[in-house]
Amino acid sequence: ETETPITDEIVDETAGLIAQGNVSISESNGNVSLSAWTRSSKSMYLIGLKNISVERSSNGVNWTQEKTLTDKLKSNANYYSLSGHSVSVTGGYYYRITCDHYAEDSSGTSQSVSNTSNSVWID
- Give residue 65's pLDDT band: very low, low, confident or very high (50, 70, 90): very high
Give 93's strand partners: 122
Answer yes or no: is pLDDT of 92 > 50: yes
Cα gap 80→75, rounded to integer Å: 9
In this prediction, residue 11 carries a pLDDT of 37
> Which H or E run contains 106?
none
Residue ranges with strand state E in the chain: 20-28, 31-57, 64-69, 72-87, 93-104, 110-116, 120-122
In this prediction, residue 16 carries a pLDDT of 79
Residue 42 one-letter amino acid = K
Q: Which residue has the higher pLDDT, 45 or 6?
A: 45
User: What is the DSSP secondary-structure string of 69-84?
Assistant: E--EEEEEEEEEEEEE
Mean pLDDT of 35-52: 96
Mean pLDDT of 35-63: 96
Mean pLDDT of 48-76: 97
Return the closest-CA partner of residue 51 out of 109, 98, 9. 98
Answer yes or no: is pLDDT of 3 > 80: no
Answer yes or no: is pLDDT of 61 > 90: yes
Task: Tell me if 51 sits within 8 A of 45, measured CB to CB.
Answer: no
- Give residue 114's pLDDT band: very low, low, confident or very high (50, 70, 90): very high
Cα gap 3→18, rounded to integer Å: 25
